[in-house]
């Protein structure tokens, strides 16, 4: 492989302040299409047609279909107007995702961007891609041996979530030691869930909280979260003063369970989904985590197009030996919902029905 230092170039900083670093690239010769007999099919612009497979894990969490996919497609087009995106969603089924991955390998795509349902089950599919020299990008959830990784600092997100629980208690003048705190974590097959949990636990313990119960919601299922909390509320000696919930979907299940039992712990989430933000404005949820998806999709799109063209993205940092770019995340409570509305989250989506009035109370427009 020709390693041409002169072709080394840097891409412009992405997404302004939300992106931690710029995606740096180094040219490593043009390997486009090597071993990819079925890719492209026709060369319209001289450097061939590029196909990139985007494999996302599920569709209950709204970010994937409404933000990750369209933004990824947009930034792929921006990086290479002739490039095509072949999109698949696994609907939380690891076997289905493996088939989608293998279909992309068989088709001979030029790069695969994978957000795995089960990060521990990707290695056999990965070796098939490697055998055909198809570069693979770890998107949002890390797995070993990817050519590039882009995500958020997920342990730090856990820290932010833990702090949000403590802040929510403080806002109610409650000592974190005054009662039990429960945790509803994400899916155990998702490595991010373990990071969120570790970060939140660390911060909660530092703040003196008594983590009395902890549950992993299988498949990030809001129904699982609801059922577990309902069961716990029936048998626990003491009601919780707070329930950490790893994302807005599962927080919705927790809210349903606590409302039914007429208890009102501090509840938090993640993803700044429309439902989550509405729950925050209603006072049913204290906080969520806002993650800017466009810069993450942009990092992945540019890296995929670069890798498909034989360039190597360097990333602004390295995570477990993989070139990486991280995007910043932040806590949102009712007081700063107004600051995050814009391109990613539209006020008109949040401010409907009973939430209309709340939006004007909190300056969301």
> Which residues in this chain contact ligand GAL in the complex, by CB under 6 A?
58, 61, 63, 140-141, 186, 190, 192, 220, 247, 270-271
Chain residue at closest Cβ approach to ligand GAL: 192
Least CB distance to ligand GAL at residue 72 (A): 15
> What is the DSSP code (8-state) at residue 228?
H
Alpha-carbon span 164 to 63, nearest angstrom? 21
Angle of helix 274-282 relative to helix 248-260, nearest 10 degrees, comes to: 40
**Cβ closer to ligand GAL: 186 or 265?**
186
**For residue 77, what are the contacts with CB-CB under 8 A and spacing of at least 6?**
83
**Cβ closer to ligand GAL: 236 or 256?**
256
Q: Burial, 336: exposed, middle or buried (Cβ in 10 Å; 0-12, 13-18, 19+)? A: middle
Alpha-carbon span 18 to 319, nearest angstrom? 19
Alpha helices (runs of H) in the chain, residue ranges in sequence order: 63, 69-79, 94-107, 123-131, 154-171, 191-206, 222-235, 248-260, 274-282, 293-308, 337-340, 347-350, 355-361
**Cβ closer to ligand GAL: 79 or 136?**
136
**Cβ closer to ligand GAL: 84 or 189?**
189
Least CB distance to ligand GAL at residue 58 (A): 5
Least CB distance to ligand GAL at residue 306 (A): 23
Least CB distance to ligand GAL at residue 70 (A): 16
**Cβ closer to ligand GAL: 331 or 359?**
331
User: Which residue is it, tokens 């698949």?
Assistant: 88
**Cβ closer to ligand GAL: 142 or 362?**
142
**Cβ closer to ligand GAL: 190 or 298?**
190
Least CB distance to ligand GAL at residue 140 (A): 5
Contact (Cβ atoms closer than 8 angstroms) between residue 186 and residue 217: yes
Least CB distance to ligand GAL at residue 244 (A): 14
Contact (Cβ atoms closer than 8 angstroms) between residue 35 and residue 107: no
Alpha-carbon span 297 to 221, nearest angstrom? 24
Least CB distance to ligand GAL at residue 305 (A): 23
Contact (Cβ atoms closer than 8 angstroms) between residue 82 and residue 105: no
Least CB distance to ligand GAL at residue 277 (A): 15
**Cβ closer to ligand GAL: 241 or 243?**
243
Strand 329-332 and strand 111-114: the pairing is: unpaired
What are the structure tokens assigned to 255, written together? 């809210």
């Amino acid at each position: 492989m020709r390693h041409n230092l002169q072709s080394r170039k840097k891409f412009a900083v992405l997404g302004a302040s939300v992106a931690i670093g710029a995606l740096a690239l180094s040219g490593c010769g043009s390997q486009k299409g090597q071993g990819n007999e079925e890719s492209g099919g026709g060369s319209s612009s001289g450097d061939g047609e590029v196909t990139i497979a985007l494999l996302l894990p599920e569709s209950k969490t709204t970010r994937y279909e409404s933000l990750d996919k369209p933004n990824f497609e947009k930034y792929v087009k921006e990086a290479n107007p002739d490039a095509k995106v072949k999109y698949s969603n696994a609907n939380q089924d690891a076997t289905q995702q493996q088939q989608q991955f293998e279909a992309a390998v068989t088709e001979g795509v030029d790069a695969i961007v994978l957000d795995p349902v089960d990060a521990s089950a990707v290695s056999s599919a990965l070796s098939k891609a490697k055998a055909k020299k198809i570069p693979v990008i770890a998107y949002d959830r890390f797995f070993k041996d990817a050519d590039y990784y882009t995500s958020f600092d997920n342990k730090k997100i856990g820290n932010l979530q833990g702090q949000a629980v403590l802040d929510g208690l403080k806002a109610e003048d409650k000592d974190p030691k005054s009662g039990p705190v429960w945790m509803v974590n994400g899916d155990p097959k998702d490595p991010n869930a373990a990071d969120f949990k570790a970060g939140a636990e660390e911060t909660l313990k530092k703040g003196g909280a008594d983590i009395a119960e902890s549950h992993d919601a299988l498949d990030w299922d809001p129904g699982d979260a609801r059922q577990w909390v309902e069961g716990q509320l029936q048998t626990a000696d003491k009601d919780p003063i707070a329930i950490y919930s790893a994302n807005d979907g599962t927080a919705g299940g927790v809210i349903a369970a606590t409302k039914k039992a007429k208890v009102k712990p501090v509840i938090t989430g993640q993803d700044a989904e429309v439902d989550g933000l509405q729950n925050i404005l209603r006072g049913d949820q204290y906080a969520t985590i806002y993650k800017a998806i466009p810069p993450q999709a942009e990092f992945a799109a540019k890296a995929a197009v670069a890798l498909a063209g034989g360039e190597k993205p360097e990333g602004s940092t390295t995570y477990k030996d993989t070139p990486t770019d991280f995007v910043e995340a932040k806590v949102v409570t009712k007081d700063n919902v107004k600051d995050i509305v814009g391109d990613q989250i539209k006020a008109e989506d949040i401010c409907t029905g009973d939430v209309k009035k709340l939006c004007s109370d909190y300056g969301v427009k």
